[in-house]
Amino acid sequence: MAYTKEQKELGTLAALIIVAGFVWFFFVGNRAGTPAGLGGTGGPYKPIEAQDYSVVLDRLKKTQTTEYKPSGRNIFVAVPEKPVEAPKPDVVEVPQPVGPQLPPPPPPPTLSMKFFGYGTLFSGGPRQAFLLDGDEVKIVSEGDTIQNHIRIVHIGNDRIEFEDTNTGLRNSAVLEMPPST
């Protein structure tokens, strides 16, 4: 015998109602009458051990009956009433070094020539800088040595970087316009 769709739905509904009844009976219905309620063990009722709040309530009444007595200071301004003297810092004497002193570090190298331009011979070729030494123009590339101890490290758009080969110190010079004649 084949069941219709309505009969299947009614059978499923009846089964769900029966399952819901069992769940309610075993999990909720059994404990509803116990004094411990849902979370209890079903034993006799035990009152909780509560703190005596009369002390707290007395303190609360005292704070509610206090009155504000102004001291003459504006409580909304964060500046002290009287200027407070700053504590005097302790003077710490720096001990003077004893014995031979190290010489000061050498100054950074200087370029006596003026950097007034740069260019390249062909596309992708090495950059070359134009340096003015008095009236004489010198053309140098990166890696060239001038003045017997200054090596050109990098030629940029607005500055030239160089290194003193004697000390290893580096410095740079900015692009300057040549004097007009």
Q: What confidence tens digit (pLDDT) does each residue in 67-86 have?
A: 877 777 777 877 766 666 77
What is the pLDDT at residue 20? 94
Contact 171, 109 (CB under 8 A): yes
Residue ranges in the chain whose pLDDT is less than 50: 32, 35-36
* Tokens linked to 166: 């004697």
Residue spans of the domains in the chain: they are 1-30, 114-174
Asked if 173 and 160 count as a contact pair (C-beta separation under 8 A), the reply is yes
Strand partners, 150: 146, 164
**Distances from the Cα of 26 to the Cα of 17, 19, 32, 37, angstroms:** 14, 11, 11, 14
pLDDT digit string (tens) for 49-69?
A: 878 888 889 999 988 988 877
- The verdict on pTM exceeding 0.85 is no
* pLDDT at site 129: 92
Ramachandran category for residue 96: left, alpha or beta (phi over 0 → left; psi -120 to 50 → alpha): beta
